[in-house]
Amino acid sequence: MRDRNIPRRLLRLCPVCDGRLVISRLSCEQCETQIESAIDVPGFFGLPPDLMEFVMIFLRSRGNIRDVEKALGISYPTVCKRLDHVNELLELGGTKGIEGPYTRRSVLEQLEQGRISVKEATALLKGLK
């Protein structure tokens, strides 16, 4: 039996072919109504676990960088760098042309095709570790 205290991760890529997964069914736990459709997995769920946790701490801190510093025991510049990295991965700030979900293969393919720079590829690959 699964421990309910351990959060499950939402997969964004097919474990067989690395194709993009979509959410296709929603079910009501109470009345068992089911809705079928194709919904993209939100970008947040493609973040590496450490950055997901960082975003959650940032949100709990209501965006107060000093509180994030204290919670994680990191410096102000490190908090800012992580925020920049999250923005890049979610395409919220300056990284254009990068298509998610992010896998090592997809990042390298986009680099090879000239759709992203070496700097952008490096940032994305560091985020996957």
What are the DSSP calls for the chain, one per residue? ---TTSPPPPP-B-TTT-PBPEEEEEE-TTT--EEEEEEEPPGGGGS-HHHHHHHHHHHHTTT-HHHHHHHHT--HHHHHHHHHHHHHHTT-SS--S--SS--HHHHHHHHHTTSS-HHHHHHHHHHH-
**pLDDT, tens digit, 9 for 90 and up, residues 90-116:** 876 544 444 555 677 777 877 887 777
Structural domain contains residue 34: yes
Q: Is the pTM of this model over 0.75?
A: no
| Domain span including residue 32 | 22-128
Structural domain contains residue 11: no
Greater confidence (99 vs 9) lies with: 9
**pLDDT, tens digit, 9 for 90 and up, residues 17-66:** 888 888 889 899 999 999 998 887 777 877 888 888 999 999 999 988 88
pLDDT at 94: 43
Structural domain contains residue 66: yes
Per-residue pLDDT for 78 more than 50?
yes
pLDDT at 101: 56
Structural domain contains residue 17: no
Structural domain contains residue 16: no
pLDDT at 50: 85
Structural domain contains residue 3: no
Per-residue pLDDT for 81 more than 80?
yes
Structural domain contains residue 58: yes
Report for 18-27, 67-76, 115-124: range of highest mean pLDDT? 67-76
Number of domains in the chain: 1
Structural domain contains residue 78: yes
